[in-house]
A and B are shown apart, each in its own frame.
Chain A
Amino acid sequence: MSSVAEIVIEVIAEKMGVPKEDVKPEAHLVNDLNVDSLDQADIVMELEEKFDMSVSEEEAAKIRTVGDIIKYIEQHKS
């Protein structure tokens, strides 16, 4: 597992109070992990900080699954 995936999963698990095993790349943020819009904002802000990057609201709105986040960060991180 790449370190990006590890960090993303750790952040989501911590924010949502769920075991890391439940935060699989295919997990849907809303349907599987009960992430609401504020949770998502919180998660994105923390990841922006951790990876020193900026995610536009437009891009953030396209995120559906844990894998979407991992992929986005892998493609855009500096």
Chain B
Amino acid sequence: MSGRALEGQTAIVTGASRGIGRCVAIRLAEAGACVVAVARSEDCLQNLESEIRASGGCAEVRTLDVRDTDAFAELAKDVFEKRGRLDILVNNAGIARDGLLARMSEESWDAVIETNLKGCFNGCRAAARWMIRQRSGSIVNISSVAGVAGNAGQANYCASKAGVIGLTKSLARELGGRNIRVNAVAPGFIRTDMTRGVTEEFEKEFCGRIALGRFGEVDDAANVVVFLAGPNAGYITGQVVCVDGGLVI
């Protein structure tokens, strides 16, 4: 990607305090975008803001629970009114509450669907309003290969991430006529806090199923998100890009 492909653009990234979201926020800022980094608590966000600003980037941090439809709408409105644009939305916030379906509590099911799927809907709806008005925009939703292939012990997570894919494809069709692209990235096993704590034995066994034979790093996923968000992906919409080292082929 050419140095500052996103100069002058405004981006919102949810789940920006850690993992893939944090890396996406940094990379978008490096590409020239002004990044509104969003997370539930400000704890890790301040670090991120100073890190981006220290390297000459533009960042603003905001706390938001993505499950809150009205709050997300307010945030998008505020960003648009303040910056005069809303070019990029990365719906990255997500949680996992793993367990076998037969023993899964209703609370675990609801919590994962509410954050991962409804949170994504809330973001898309909030941003679409301004992007339609602007007649341009790019939304990247973070799904998962687990949503593509399924995974035992993660029925709630997989259902939410498969839902994100359906949402992405439908919205791409709805908004294509307004020059708004909507894509999804489906990471495989990426080393983050969410995937921390696996045993060496599990890693060895699991890597045997990955064509490239290793777990991914946050940059592997973030680079694809930034590509899809930007103008170099100008003719790509409604797609799901798996970033999984060849776990699902």
Contacts and interface: CB of A to CB of B under 8 A. Distances in A.
B177 A41 contact: no
A1 interface: no
A36 B177 contact: yes
A69 to B, nearest CB: 18
Interface residues of B, number: 7
A38 B129 contact: no
A42 B177 CA distance: 13
A45 B132 CA distance: 11
A38 B178 CA distance: 8
B175 interface: yes
Interface in B160-198: 174-175, 177-178
Contacts of B129: 45
Interface string B213-226: 00000000000000
Nearest to A15: B133
11 contacts: A36-B177, A38-B132, A38-B174, A38-B175, A38-B177, A38-B178, A41-B132, A42-B132, A42-B133, A45-B129, A46-B133
